[in-house]
């Protein structure tokens, strides 16, 4: 199957695109876009991969679903386009960056600048029906994104995986901690941020690890 994804990823994931579950997923997604309002816009489904090649990836931040409100999702986990108000979890991420690194909270929530530095902003599910959180879960996306994580974890070394919340931590449980640095804390959601996300300092930890291994740090 010819999937419109960045060439570096297309080569690494080509076997995945031929599996029966992926064909079923494509059929489901096409039908959903035809019959319903679905986010992100079709051309942005693989946006995270467009801006962060396999070879350039240094950090993986794992989300769950795309945002399901109008104009919010653009294919990068936790991120929103310019001009869109930052959702609560993203606001808390910026608060932790300010506390951790002393940086000012930016005027927008577009994390494209992270992606362009090697941060793969990966959601477990890459599409969602408008106003219906979780509506595209268990349709095959999770199997695909598991394969993405496994491809990175098995073929690269010294990556940083940032896993916020129980869902992300379960999904990343297989990652070899002797080859990679895994940072775990509660989710930045307002429902859990006070239980250990605030004060966890994931951004300085990630940069310290990258620096220790001779890699360029991220300008968060």
* Helix residue ranges, H only, 85-197: 88-101, 112-115, 141-155, 165-171
164, containing H or E segment: strand 160-164
- Around Cβ 104, how many Cβ atoms within 10 Å? 8
C-alpha dihedral, 67 to 71 to 77 to 83, nearest 10°: -130
CA distances from 70 to 37, 56, 132, 176 (A): 9, 31, 12, 38
Q: Which of 148, 133, 134 is nearest to 49 (CA)?
A: 148
Contact 59, 164 (CB under 8 A): no
Q: Of these residues, 2, 24, 65, 194, which one is catalytic?
A: 65
Report the C-alpha gap between 211 and 188 in whole angstroms. 25
Q: Tell me how far apart the alpha carbons of residues 88 and 37 are, in angstroms, rounded to a whole number.
A: 23
Residue (of 178, 136, 152, 132) closest to 55 by Cα position: 152
65 is catalytic: yes
Q: Which residues belong to the active site?
A: 65
């Amino acid at each position: 199957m010819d999937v419109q994804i960045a060439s570096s990823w297309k080569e690494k994931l080509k076997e995945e695109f031929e599996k029966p579950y992926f064909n079923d997923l494509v059929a489901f997604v096409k039908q959903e876009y035809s019959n319903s309002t679905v986010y992100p816009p079709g051309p942005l489904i693989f946006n995270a991969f467009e801006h962060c090649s396999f070879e350039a990836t240094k950090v993986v931040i794992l989300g769950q679903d795309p945002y399901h409100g109008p104009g919010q999702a653009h294919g990068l986990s936790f991120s929103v386009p310019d001009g869109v108000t930052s959702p609560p979890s993203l606001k808390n991420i910026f608060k932790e960056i300010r506390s951790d690194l002393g940086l000012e909270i930016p005027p927008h929530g577009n994390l494209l600048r992270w992606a362009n530095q090697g941060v793969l902003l990966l959601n477990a599910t890459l599409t969602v029906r408008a106003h219906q959180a979780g509506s595209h879960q268990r349709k095959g996306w999770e199997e695909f994104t598991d394969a993405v994580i496994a491809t990175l974890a098995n073929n690269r070394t010294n990556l940083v995986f940032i896993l916020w919340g129980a869902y992300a931590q379960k999904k990343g449980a297989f990652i070899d901690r002797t080859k990679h640095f895994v940072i775990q804390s509660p989710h930045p959601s307002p429902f859990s941020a006070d239980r250990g996300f605030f004060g966890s300092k994931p951004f300085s930890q990630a940069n310290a690890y990258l620096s220790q291994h001779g890699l360029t740090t991220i300008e968060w």
